[in-house]
């Protein structure tokens, strides 16, 4: 029998062993394989073997013991599940040997989830479904889920858009309306501007028309009047309807499917600026001088009557036609609108920043809802006209509300902070080596950044300097303070011209009306800003997913009809793994993985360039490619350089320029 001293020694030894072990809390990061990592608060990534990874999901918060693995590297052993984020997911239904599963459509989760017999909702093999977790795998490695919704199968018309809406938790149907949530507006209490021949200019099929335009020449330049639809005049503040609109965040636009933010009766009828009908509007009247500068603006609540519903194609044809056989009530106004738009754009290019135009592509669909062909489209004169007028109003709205927002966060601005901090060193090096005359400019200030971009817009250089710098920019974000918008070269900016389609514009319209009436506005909460940002992000992700799906199906058909077909493409991104190319005929993008080329490449992250002994790849360089793989599960397309293509160093790039940043290259 052990005496008390011996027992105390054993307890001390046991405690010492426990103390010598390292314990930590981390977040699970999955991979494309079966293994994963536990990411700790100090940044360390501890290897999770496949047998441990089977017991957790990506983003789970776990407690682990860190031990030394067979190769001397740290390995994580699970101790406790602290919390889990995965509640529901979308994926494809799989039946294998009478067992039923869902293969989740989640990055870095590469295993199937079992569906018990009573939880299947009659889903069939190949169906796309939404499912929810009913049993976490931590205890025994056996996760279970139930099917909540059968979205459809791959052959179903419109499956791409319907799946994308479900995948990103977006609304998929029209919002019902309760008349108790609506106000009865007083049409007589507004400025009567019905005599002005406003016109709407939209797509031919557009029904939710939220802006109308009028212009006339005067002694000091032009008068421009922009009428914005006023849905906030109809919706009771704080009502269930307004809360539902806030939850939606925006209208959703997917290939062949649009889902409105507002109920149809508002979006397409009572608020829409239809022709020859009196409509409530917020009107911004601007005085623009002959140089394109806005010298005065005034907002008011008004009553307007559009005299015509015009399409972009109609107006562009009208503006481009030299001989006019018939004059309309809007003819002179549209001509002046175009003249104004030219001056507005020139002023922005001179004093601020105008981004280069990018051609777009229009998909044409067959009877099954799949893409039959593409056509390339450039922005026409009518689209430019509308865009410049909207920017002028948005700038004026930001100026109108900036002082109130500084005092009380009552408005919502669009902020863009310029270069990402982690890229500033590369940006500085690029300018020092290629544009030393600009090296002393502080590009972290609005004036310095604007001057740089104005110089690059006029500069002819052998390297795509502006494109390289664009890859180092941050994304724009919403802010409740008037913060500079570097991307446009403006001290502050907002958007108010689409209140039917975007809740942030709806909020800004309320803020304008509150100030006009001398009322007190409620501050916009940070949580609401984050929600609006999240809604916009998810809407973009859904649109991209649906488009990528359709693109993959389209190229599959092209591959079947013409195996080995060669496509002309342009390089739009460069990474250490390869180049992302965009096909010039249709705008479809995919990756050329240079790691499989048999050559060693070095990646220059200053110049966004891949180089080997025989080849070099730069942004905007054109190369010929062929399709190597189309992954329908990931909706991703892989290309390789066409055999006949010789992607040599472009002749216009000098040897000195090639060698300018040799020291920044990393061999891979």
Q: Is 350 among the domain residues? A: yes
Residues 406 and 459 both lie in one domain: no
Host domain of residue 42: 20-83
Both 324 and 196 in one domain: the answer is yes
Specify if 164 maps to a domain: no
Backbone angles phi, psi at 285, to 5 degrees: -105, 125
d(CA 272, CA 231): 9
Residue 162 covered by a domain:
no
Residue-level pLDDT at 226: 98
CATH code assigned at 128: 2.40.50.640
pLDDT of residue 17: 45
pLDDT at 24 over 90: yes
Residue 326 lies in a domain: yes
Q: Give the 3-state secondary structure of residue 27.
A: strand
Question: How much of the chain exceeds pLDDT 70, in percent?
Answer: 93
Residue at which a domain ends, from 511, 544, 577: 544
Q: What is the DSSP letter of 488?
A: G
Band of pLDDT at residue 357, cut at 50, 70 and 90 = confident
Q: Residue 624 has what pLDDT?
A: 97
pLDDT for 20 equals: 55
pLDDT tens for each residue of 164-188: 999 999 998 889 999 999 999 999 9
Residue 6 lies in a domain: no
**Neighbouring-strand partners of residue 144:** 114, 135
Q: Are 610 and 602 in contact (CB under 8 A)?
A: yes
Q: Are residues 248 and 108 in the same domain?
A: no
Mean of the pLDDT values across residues 399-419?
93
76 against 12, higher pLDDT: 76
Under the banding of pLDDT at 50, 70 and 90, the label for residue 668 is very low
Q: Nearest 5°: phi and psi at 523? A: -60, 150
Banded pLDDT at 3 (limits 50, 70, 90): low
What are the pLDDT digits (tens) for 260-317? 999 999 999 999 999 999 999 999 999 999 999 999 999 999 999 999 999 999 999 9
In 106-200, where does DSSP find H-type helix?
A: 159-167
Main-chain dihedrals φ then ψ at residue 447, nearest 5 degrees: -65, -45
How does the average pLDDT of the chain come out, rounded? 91
Q: Give the contacts of 314 (CB within 8 A, at least 6 positions apart).
A: 382
**pLDDT greater than 90 at residue 39:** yes
Shared-domain flag, residues 230 and 333: yes
pLDDT higher at 391 or 204:
391
Do 502 and 595 sit in the same domain of this protein?
A: no
CATH code of residue 648: 2.40.50.140
pLDDT of res. 70:
83
Do 505 and 577 lie in one domain? The reply is: no
pLDDT digits (tens, 9 = 90+) for 458-511: 999 999 999 999 999 999 999 999 999 999 999 999 999 999 999 999 999 999
Q: State how far the Cα of 469 lies from the Cα of 633, in Å rounded to an integer.
A: 33
Average pLDDT over residues 561-585: 95
Q: How confident is the model at residue 408 (pLDDT cuts 50, 70, 90)?
A: confident
Asked which of 67, 83, 99 is the last residue of a domain, the reply is 83
Is the pLDDT at 7 greater than 70, yes or no? no
**pLDDT number for residue 8:** 58
Write the DSSP assignment of 287-312 as a string of letters. EE-TTS-EEEEEEEEEEEEEEEEEEH
CA distance 229 to 244: 19
Q: How confident is the model at residue 19 (pLDDT cuts 50, 70, 90)?
A: very low
Q: Is 195 in the same domain as 279? A: yes
**What pLDDT sits at residue 131?**
98
At 601-657, the pLDDT tens digits run 999 999 999 999 999 999 999 999 999 999 999 999 999 999 854 444 454 444 444
Q: What is the pLDDT, as a whole number, of residue 644?
A: 53
For residue 326, pLDDT over 90 is answered with no
Predicted confidence band of residue 160 (pLDDT cuts 50, 70, 90): very high
Q: Are residues 276 and 194 in the same domain?
A: yes
pTM: 0.88
Which residue, of 31, 48, 83, is where some domain finishes?
83
For every residue of 136-180, DSSP letters joined together read -STTTS--EEEEEEEEE-TTSTTHHHHHHHHHTT---SPPP--GG
DSSP H or E segment with residue 275: none
Radius of gyration of the chain (CA): 29
Count of structural domains, the chain: 5
Average confidence (pLDDT) over 93-118: 94
- The candidate with the shortest Cα–Cα distance to 199, out of 289, 312, 298, is 312
Domain check: are 378 and 516 in the same one? yes
Our CA dihedral for 280, 286, 290, 292, rounded to 10 degrees, sits at -90
Answer whether residue 427 is part of any domain.
yes
With respect to residue 519, please indicate whether it lies within any of the assigned structural domains.
yes
Helices (H), 121-254: 159-167, 240-248
Indicate if 74 and 123 belong to the same structural domain.
no
- Is residue 280 domain-shared with residue 382, that is, in the same domain? yes
How is the chain split among helix, strand and coil, in percent rounded to 5?
30, 30, 35
The average pLDDT across 216-241 equals 97
- pLDDT of 646 reads 45
| Residues 536 and 410 reside in one and the same domain | yes
**What is the pLDDT at residue 5?**
63
């Amino acid at each position: 029998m052990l005496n008390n001293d011996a027992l105390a020694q054993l307890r001390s030894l046991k405690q010492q062993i426990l103390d010598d072990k390292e314990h930590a809390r981390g977040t699970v990061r999955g991979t494309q394989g079966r293994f994963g990592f536990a990411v700790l608060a100090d940044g360390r990534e501890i290897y999770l073997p496949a047998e441990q990874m089977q017991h957790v999901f990506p983003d789970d918060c776990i407690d682990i013991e860190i031990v030394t693995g067979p190769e001397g590297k740290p390995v994580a052993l699970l101790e406790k599940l602290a919390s889990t984020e995965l509640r529901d997911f979308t994926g494809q239904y799989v039946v294998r040997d009478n067992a039923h599963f869902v293969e989740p459509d989640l990055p870095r989760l590469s295993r199937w989830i079992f569906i018990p017999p009573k939880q299947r909702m009659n889903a069939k093999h190949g169906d796309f479904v939404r499912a929810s977790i009913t049993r976490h795998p931590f205890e025994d490695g056996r996760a279970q889920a139930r099917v909540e919704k059968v979205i459809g199968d791959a052959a179903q018309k419109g499956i791409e858009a319907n799946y994308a809406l479900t995948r990103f938790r977006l609304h998929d149907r029209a919002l019902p309306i309760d008349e108790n949530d609506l106000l009865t507006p007083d049409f007589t209490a507004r400025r009567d501007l019905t005599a002005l021949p406003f016109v709407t200019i939209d797509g031919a099929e557009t029904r939710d028309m939220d802006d109308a335009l009028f212009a006339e020449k005067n002694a000091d330049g032009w008068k421009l009047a922009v009428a914005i639809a006023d849905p906030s005049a109809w919706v009771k503040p704080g009502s269930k309807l307004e809360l539902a609109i806030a939850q939606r965040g925006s209208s959703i636009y997917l290939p062949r499917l649009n889902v409105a933010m507002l109920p149809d009766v508002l979006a397409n009828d009572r608020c829409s600026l239809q022709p020859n009908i009196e409509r409530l509007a917020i009107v911004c009247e601007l005085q623009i001088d002959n140089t394109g500068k806005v010298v005065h603006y005034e907002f008011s609540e008004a009553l307007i009557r559009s005299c015509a519903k015009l399409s972009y194609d109609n107006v562009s044809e009208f503006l481009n036609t030299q001989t006019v056989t018939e004059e309309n009530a809007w003819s002179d106004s549209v001509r002046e609108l175009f003249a104004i738009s030219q001056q507005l754009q020139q002023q922005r290019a001179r004093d601020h920043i105008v981004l280069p135009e990018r051609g777009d592509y229009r998909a044409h669909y067959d009877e099954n809802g799949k893409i039959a062909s593409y056509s390339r489209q450039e922005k026409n004169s009518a689209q430019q006209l509308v865009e410049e007028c909207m920017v002028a109003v948005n700038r004026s709205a930001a100026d109108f509300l900036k002082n109130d927002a500084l005092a009380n966060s009552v408005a919502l601005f669009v902020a863009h902070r310029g270069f990402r901090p982690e890229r500033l060193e590369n940006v500085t090096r690029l300018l020092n080596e290629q544009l030393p005359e600009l090296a002393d400019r502080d590009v972290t200030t609005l004036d310095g950044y604007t001057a740089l971009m104005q110089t690059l817009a006029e500069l002819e250089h052998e390297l795509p300097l502006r494109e390289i710098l664009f890859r180092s920019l941050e994304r724009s974000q919403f802010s409740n303070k008037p913060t500079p918008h570097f991307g446009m070269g403006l001290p502050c900016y907002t958007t108010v011209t689409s209140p039917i389609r975007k809740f942030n514009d709806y909020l800004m319209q309320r803020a304008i009306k509150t100030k006009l009436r001398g009322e007190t506005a409620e501050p916009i909460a940070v949580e609401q800003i984050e929600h609006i940002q999240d809604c916009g992000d998810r809407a973009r992700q859904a649109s991209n997913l649906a488009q990528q799906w359709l693109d993959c199906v389209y190229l599959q058909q092209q591959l079947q009809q013409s195996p080995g077909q060669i496509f002309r493409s342009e390089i739009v991104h460069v990474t250490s793994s390869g180049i992302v190319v965009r096909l010039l005929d249709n705008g479809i993008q995919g990756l050329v993985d240079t790691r499989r080329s048999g050559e060693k490449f070095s990646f220059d992250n200053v110049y966004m360039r891949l180089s080997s002994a025989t080849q070099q790849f730069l942004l905007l360089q054109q190369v010929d490619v062929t399709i190597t793989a189309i992954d329908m599960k990931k909706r991703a397309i892989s290309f390789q350089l066409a055999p006949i293509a010789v992607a040599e160093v472009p002749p216009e790039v000098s040897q000195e320029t090639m060698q300018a940043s040799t020291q920044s290259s990393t061999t891979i």
